């Protein structure tokens, strides 16, 4: 029996220091807990290079750590042209990111561009709001949505794509 190729997932937000690294860390944590770490490859990127090389924001790290997710080792990076070919899924945290991804999508790109919360209709919204300019409650709410989205993606990815 041949081993199937891992599903490759890229989380995308603006600066890659709050929402997308949090989603990367949560989905990785869930995949490991389910014994699926070898079947799902996860990364994150920003639509801008404003924070390239920086760790996730301190408040994102604190909120994640309180729920058992360690995202301190992640580093922000900007979206690259190759990402459209290297990943199966590009998961946008909001409609603005969808627009950016579609606008910059190479004609022959292979990645599917989807809103991150697509497999979590129970949350009643499509966008994960940016907590960066908010307070602690905003980070907690974003993490609530991210956990719901990651659980939905984990279920979707269990079957392959």
Residues with catalytic annotation? Answer: 13, 19, 130
Give which of 58, 44, 55, 59 is closest to 14, Cα–Cα.
Answer: 44
H or E segment at 83? Answer: helix 83-86
Task: Specify which residues 92 forms β-bridges with.
Answer: 12, 115
Q: What is the chain's Cα-based Rg?
A: 15
Paired tokens of 158:
């269990």
Q: Match 């990402």 to its residue by tokens.
A: 83
What angle in degrees, to the nearest 10, is found between the helix axes of 58-66 and 136-158?
60
In contact, 138 and 127? CB cutoff 8 Å? no
Phi and psi torsions of 122, nearest 5°: -65, -20
């Amino acid at each position: 029996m041949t081993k199937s190729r891992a599903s490759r997932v890229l989380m995308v937000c603006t600066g890659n220091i709050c929402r997308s690294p949090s989603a990367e860390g949560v989905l990785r944590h869930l995949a490991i807990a389910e014994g699926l770490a070898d079947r799902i490859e996860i990364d994150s990127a920003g639509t801008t290079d404003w924070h390239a090389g920086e760790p996730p924001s301190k408040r994102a790290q604190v909120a994640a750590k309180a729920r058992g997710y360690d995202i301190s080792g992640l580093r922000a990076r900007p979206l690259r042209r190759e990402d459209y070919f290297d990943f199966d899924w590009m998961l946008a945290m909001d409609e603005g990111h969808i627009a950016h991804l579609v606008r910059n999508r190479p004609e022959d790109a292979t990645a599917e561009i989807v809103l991150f919360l697509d497999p979590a209709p129970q949350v009643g919204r499509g966008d994960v709001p940016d907590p960066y300019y908010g307070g602690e409650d905003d980070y907690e709410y974003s993490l609530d949505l991210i956990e719901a989205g990651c659980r939905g993606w984990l279920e979707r990815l269990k079957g392959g794509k």
